[in-house]
Structure 1
Amino acid sequence: MDYDIAIIGLGPAGATLARLLKPGLKVLALDKKQQCGEEGFQKPCGGLLATDAQRSFVRFGVNLPTSVLADPQIFSVKTYDLQTRLIRNYQRTYVNINRHRFDLWLKTLIPASVDIRHDSLCRKITRRDDGLYHLRFTDSGTEQEAVVKYVVGADGANSMLRRMLYPDHEIRKYLSIQQWFVDKHPVPFYSCIFDNAVTDCYAWSMSKDGYFILGGAFAMKNGNQQFETLKTRLEPYSFTFGDVVKTEKCIVLCPSKMTDFRCGKDNVFLIGEAAGFISASSLEGISYAFDSAEILSKILNAEHAFPHRAYQKGTLKLRLKLFGKIVKAAILTSPLLRGLIMRSKISHVDMTTQK
């Protein structure tokens, strides 16, 4: 056995687990991103840290460096309902970040005892007759192999390990599309957009470092067309789009039932979005990546006799919380219920304009 644990993916979930595992464990960590810089793989993401993610930093005793922050920091979300033409403003305490720099910074917190392979890709995982796992992966273009006891899937929505463990399980997926433009709006803002004519999920926009980002989660089959339709439908609301600087796309999971949350089996564990731990109402996953990684780290550090049973039990509150987000999503994506909430003006903050 070459390693005790192999972690596939070093996003917020994988990097946090690698950081929290005790030094006595032999850990291999594979990550598609390069060690530094703007080249190579980057995770498409709006880049907002929700309050639950911020709370994790408090528990970890970790401070966020200014190098990962984006400009500006905005304290409200303008919510648009294109069915009713209602617009409301809600206070939010998101932290605006550069997601790629944030991910690279999380990797710098991993101790030197972890064997990190940057710019690497897991190609194949095979379970041997003795219960250990044989990994084939590329490391900067070179083929490598390793034998490990435990494998942890922190490889996101399109998780190789989730597909391997549960080939017949179907979970709701959306095509997430983001386009970046030079920001021409006189006042930077965040927005949350509901438009059941183009998606039964939601869309978003934000200002970031001089750019304006418009994104949304759309049906897999016609997502590109629906995204262009959304841009047209937003023009009457003073949304300004110029030339496209770049377009980003990725698959995003959206759980719809308790059985969509899969913790793993047979000495393979799933954390973060690979486990389905993502909010159905906001598609926020960083806080759940932190939480699931923390729970699993305690179990593996304790060398628990029945780690899968312990992980299943340890994530129960997390899964129940996420089920509540499924219920919330059903309410917010219903035009009738959403309209009633927005008309009530609950939590709405009136905007005053100073002359």
Structure 2
Amino acid sequence: MAIVGGGPAGATLARLLAKDYKVLVIDKRRLDSDPQKGQFTKCCGGLIAPDAQKMLAKMGLALPQNVLVSPQIFAVRTIDINNKLERFYQRFYFNMDREKFDRWLISLLPDEVDLRCGSQFKHFEQEEDAVRIVLTQNNKTHIEHAKILVGADGAHSLVRKQLGIRGLVPREYISVQAKFTAKEIMPYFTAIFDKEITDYYSWIIPKEQHLLLGTALKPRENVSSKFELLQEKMKRYGIKLNKQVEKEGAFILRPMRVRQLSVGQSPIALIGEAGGWISPSSAEGLSYAFRSASYLAQAIKSDFKNYHKHYLDNITPLRRNIRLKNLKAPFMYNSQMRKWVMLSGLQSMQIDEN
């Protein structure tokens, strides 16, 4: 079995199957060694939400201290620019370093896993009884064969693209995030709603002596200028953004219909965001990565030859979850409905910032 992508979905699937099957993991990052300057990193806010915490617990995993960063967060500050409203809500997140988190998950893989870091997946071809996989490593082309090929390579999945799935696909956004030095660290995660910037949302996350400012923007809609406008608006709002030290971007998906989700077509399987499995309301993806990997592992272990049918059955709760998230979304993203919710004060709390 070959898995393209060594992030949370791919690493979890490899760990769950390693004792029973021969597993190859392909990832372009050097997750098996110290990060190099200029190396690609995952653009991510680095918050572990309660659903992902629950999955870590169910898998018997506990976070090592070196993965966590301060401050740990227990509140969300919601800023509605259009309605000129602000509320605080209690939420429980683990604040972590995403790159260290991914490396920790890779470190859990048993020695049986064939880990090919620094390798680039190119394409695949379906043969009579196997999948022929072409990858490059150190400027050399390598050919591998597998009974099952799993795409765990994120929103811009080459596996999904080459599979040529027809029909609806999730709505695509570009996540842009910059890191700024900060003298005052906020003790909360900030969610910002402003239709002039995006029909999704923007965020501010404290990380040690820095603040992450990010937003999810539609492609080809003046991404750079909108991000600059967001910075200016936050400064006018009183958010102190000092020197910018990093800036990164990535594609993210937003499944607006269950039909936009995919598990692949046997012998090709899709997990995590490669299949569109991500929250349409918050863009939280870790719990979906863990759950889809777990469902696929269960399906393969129960019936290797007919895994696809079992995977479809297993993942039904995740489809239901995304359907419910889409029912929740209007209360967050419809300006008038959000105004009613925030004015009601429902589940909000007062913060004594002194």
Q: Is TM > 0.5 for Structure 1 vs Structure 2?
A: yes
Q: In the alignment, what sits opposite 1:283?
A: 283
Report which stretch shifted further, 15-24 or 90-99: 15-24
Question: How far, CA to CA, are the matches of 2:138 and 2:239 in structure 1?
Answer: 42
Question: How far, CA to CA, are the matches of 1:146 and 1:343 in structure 2?
Answer: 58
1:186 Cα offset (Å): 5.5
Answer yes or no: is the 8 Å Cα contact 1:120–1:141 preserved in 2: no
Per-residue deviation, residues 84-114 of structure 1 (Å, max 9, x unmatched): 1111001111000000000000000011111
Q: In the alignment, what sits opposite 1:297?
A: 297
Identity %: 36
One-letter code aligned to 2:5: G
Q: Secondary structure at the match of 2:239?
A: coil
- 1:341 corresponds to 2:341: yes
CA distance 1:187–1:123, shift in 2 (3 Å): closer
Per-residue deviation, residues 16-41 of structure 1 (Å, max 9, x unmatched): 00000042311111011101222222
Q: Secondary structure at the match of 2:148?
A: strand
1:187 Cα offset (Å): 4.0
One-letter code aligned to 1:346: L
Q: In the alignment, what sits opposite 2:92?
A: 93
Q: In the alignment, what sits opposite 1:181?
A: 180
Report which stretch shifted further, 230-239 or 255-264: 230-239
Query: Unmatched 5+ residue regions in structure 2?
Result: none
Question: How far, CA to CA, are the matches of 2:165 and 2:119 in structure 1?
Answer: 24
Q: In the alignment, what sits opposite 1:162?
A: 160
CA distance 1:263–1:353, shift in 2 (3 Å): closer
Q: In the alignment, what sits opposite 1:211?
A: 210
Task: State the aligned residue count.
Answer: 349
Per-residue deviation, residues 192-215 of structure 1 (Å, max 9, x unmatched): 000011100000001102111100
Query: Unmatched 5+ residue regions in structure 1?
Result: none
Q: Secondary structure at the match of 2:348?
A: coil
Report which stretch shifted further, 326-335 or 176-185: 326-335
1:327 Cα offset (Å): 2.1
Structure 1 residue ranges, 4+ long, deviating more than 3 angstroms after superposition: 166-170, 186-189
Q: TM-score, normalised by structure 2?
A: 0.95
Per-residue deviation, residues 289-341 of structure 1 (Å, max 9, x unmatched): 00010111111123344211110111011111012112222331100000000
One-letter code aligned to 1:49: I
Question: How far, CA to CA, are the matches of 1:287 and 1:146 in structure 2?
Answer: 30
One-letter code aligned to 2:34: G
Answer yes or no: is the 8 Å Cα contact 2:330–2:337 preserved in 1: no
What aligned pairs does 1:106-185 form with structure 2 within 5 A after superposition?
Answer: 106-128=105-127, 130-169=128-167, 170-185=169-184
1:163 Cα offset (Å): 1.0
Aligned-residue Cα RMSD (Å) equals 1.3
Q: Secondary structure at the match of 1:93?
A: strand
Q: TM-score, normalised by structure 1?
A: 0.95
Answer yes or no: is the 8 Å Cα contact 2:201–2:216 preserved in 1: yes
